Amino acid sequence: MIPNRLKEILSQIKQAEIHYHRQPDSVLLLAVSKTKPSSDIAVAYQAGQRHFGESYCQEALIKQRELGAYAITWHFIGPIQSNKTKALAAHFDWVHSVDSLNIAQRLSKQRPANLAPLNICLQVNMSNELSKSGISLDELPQLCEQVALLPNIKLRGVMAIPAPEDDFERQRLPYKTLSQAINKLDCFKLDTLSFGMSDDLIAAIAEGSTIVRVGSALFGARS
């Protein structure tokens, strides 16, 4: 089941890269395994998947221990409480959901010296979002400037979670707006747009996504 779905999603990504004139292999599949058991991650891993995303710190740390023998690149994509930054800095390769200078400073200070800089994305709340997480587009240039100066973390780009939308063209709109805003910030050498989930990954790829975060389409619905 999971291997077949993985193959299907990778093929959809490849098709979309071609259709929307994206570079081959410019879109990375992040398998979002929150609430799913380590055994599901192991199955996807055996089928070739290497990047996994988790939303809850405690849950992720347990799975990381269980899967210690696997060469997984771990991404944190959930809301960040400041008492969790130490664990995130020590146990993840990427954090997509940074939405304040305070959180970025803590991650920078707490990143262990023996590890490569932590890759981070700033979460931007496009106006149509239901969640309270994320900075506004207006705040993005200044936060980029401040975060880019911090040691031990590497500012890679932005992440967005638009409100669900059925219509394909309407799915593209928030991604287009954010993509255009990022192009104007080229001084920061951002290379990552963490855009797109199970229901809108094609629209996200059309607008320049470089990481699609796919959960239910790969692992099945979450209870």
Ligand X SMILES: *Cc1c(COP(=O)(O)O)cnc(C)c1O
Tell me how far, at minimum, the Cβ of 26 lies from ligand X, in Å: 19
Biggest CA pair distance of the chain: 46
| 100 vs 198 by CB, closer to ligand X | 198
Site of interaction with ligand X (CB under 6 A): 32, 34, 55, 77, 161, 197-199, 213-217
Which stretches does DSSP call E strand in 1-134? 28-32, 51-54, 73-76, 94-98, 118-123
Distance CA 162, CA 173 (A): 10
Provide CB contacts within 8 A for 29, sequence distance 6+.
Answer: 9, 10, 13, 49, 51, 212, 214
Cα distances (angstroms) measured from residue 74 to each of 27, 38, 128, 155? 17, 13, 28, 17
Tokens of 134: 């994320």
Tell me how far, at minimum, the Cβ of 34 lies from ligand X, in Å: 6
Tokens of 190: 């951002």
Tell me how far, at minimum, the Cβ of 194 lies from ligand X, in Å: 8
| 174 vs 215 by CB, closer to ligand X | 215
Q: Is 157 helix (H, G, I), strand (E, B) or coil?
A: strand
Distance CA 215, CA 223 (A): 12
| 152 vs 163 by CB, closer to ligand X | 163
Tell me how far, at minimum, the Cβ of 158 lies from ligand X, in Å: 13
| 93 vs 152 by CB, closer to ligand X | 93
Tell me how far, at minimum, the Cβ of 5 lies from ligand X, in Å: 11
Considering only CA atoms, which of 201, 195, 169 is closest in space to residue 96? 195
**Residue whose CB is nearest to ligand X in the complex, by number:** 215
Tell me how far, at minimum, the Cβ of 97 lies from ligand X, in Å: 7
Tell me how far, at minimum, the Cβ of 94 lies from ligand X, in Å: 12
| 177 vs 216 by CB, closer to ligand X | 216
| 208 vs 215 by CB, closer to ligand X | 215
Q: Which helix (H) or strand (E) holds 218?
A: helix 216-219
| 141 vs 164 by CB, closer to ligand X | 164
